[in-house]
Structure formats: C-alpha cells, structure tokens
C-alpha cells in the first residue's frame, strides 16, 4: 500500500506519475507547477476553490475573497492552464478583467509561466 509520503516522492521524482497526477487534479497541478507562489499553508477556502474548479458539473462560479488571497493566481493563471492542459481539455479560455492593464498583466503571467516554468514545459510542453 502506498502512503502519502511515497506518493509525493513519486510525484516529485517520477515524470510519468507527476504528469498523470497533475492532469487529474488542479490542486496537484498548482502545488507542483506553481509552488513558487505559495508563501503560506493553503487555507480551507483555497481547497474549496480547487474543488470548485475540478467539478465538471459546475458551469459557473463566483469566487470572492480578500485582496492578496491568491484568487487571480489560482483561477486566472493556474486554472486557465490546467483547464487546457489537464483532464478538462478545454479548447478556449476566456478571461474577463475590469481594466486593460489587468488583462495585460494576466496575459503576461500566463505567457511567463508557459515560457519560463521549466518543469511545466518539460512535463506538458512544448508550448507554441
């Protein structure tokens, strides 16, 4: 029987296991490829956000949380990429922002991850 420590070791060390796990779980996708954004332990409401994004039956969601809580990183950056690269296999992602500057910043964040995130590129790339 595999325990959680062995699973995490496999995810970290074995690209085949890692690719399978991150494609199935947005939370694992985030923890593996976006750990550089995590400064503190995830809160229960973060876990709920990941549950919402992984629920294929949920067609619309409204996520409201305090400033600096990671909403944009989780939803606009991580979920956008996971929804395309992960099990949902979305063909299009629509990001709506309040201002042009916010839209540009979100697009730059996505571009930066696709171009600079070595582990993401090696596991799920190449990206063009």
Flag the least confident range among 4-8, 60-64, 90-94, 104-108: 4-8
- The residues near 56 (Cβ < 8 Å, ≥ 6 apart) are 88
Based on C-alpha coordinates, what's the Rg of the chain?
A: 15
What whole-number distance in Å separates Cα of residue 108 and Cα of residue 114? Answer: 10
Return d(Cα 41, Cα 74) in angstroms, integer: 14
User: By percentage, how much of the chain surpasses pLDDT 90?
Assistant: 76
Q: Which are the contacts of 123, defined by CB distance < 8 A and separation ≥ 6?
A: 15, 18, 19, 22, 33
Residue 1, pLDDT score: 42
Instruction: Name the percent of the chain lying above pLDDT 70.
Output: 95
Return the pLDDT at 121.
Answer: 95
- pLDDT for residue 3: 57
Return the pLDDT at 119.
95
**In angstroms, rounded to a whole number, what is the distance separating the alpha carbons of residues 45 and 38?**
15
- Domain-wise residue ranges, the chain: 4-124
Q: Please give the pLDDT value at position 114.
A: 96
Q: Is the pLDDT of residue 6 over 80?
A: no
Structure token pair of residue 88: 């949902």
Q: Other C-beta atoms within 10 Å of 34: how many?
A: 19
**Model confidence over 10-57: pLDDT tens digits?**
777 888 989 999 999 999 999 999 999 999 999 999 999 999 999 999
Q: What is the mean pLDDT of residues 99-116?
A: 96
Q: Is the separation of the CB atoms in 50 and 26 below 8 Å?
A: yes
**Contacts for 37-43: CB closer than 8 Å, 24+ residues apart:** 37/70, 37/73
What was the pLDDT predicted at 122?
94
């Amino acid at each position: 029987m595999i325990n959680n420590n062995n699973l995490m070791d496999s995810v970290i060390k074995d690209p085949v296991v890692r690719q399978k796990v991150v494609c199935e779980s947005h939370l694992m996708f985030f923890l593996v490829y976006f750990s550089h954004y995590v400064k503190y332990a995830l809160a229960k409401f973060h876990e709920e956000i990941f549950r919402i994004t992984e629920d294929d039956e949920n067609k619309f969601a409204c996520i409201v949380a305090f400033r600096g809580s990671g909403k944009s990183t989780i939803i606009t950056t991580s979920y956008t990429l996971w929804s395309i690269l992960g099990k949902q296999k979305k063909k299009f992602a629509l990001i709506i922002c309040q201002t042009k500057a916010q839209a540009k910043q979100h697009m730059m964040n996505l571009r930066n991850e696709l171009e600079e995130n070595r582990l993401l590129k090696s596991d799920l790339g190449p990206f063009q």
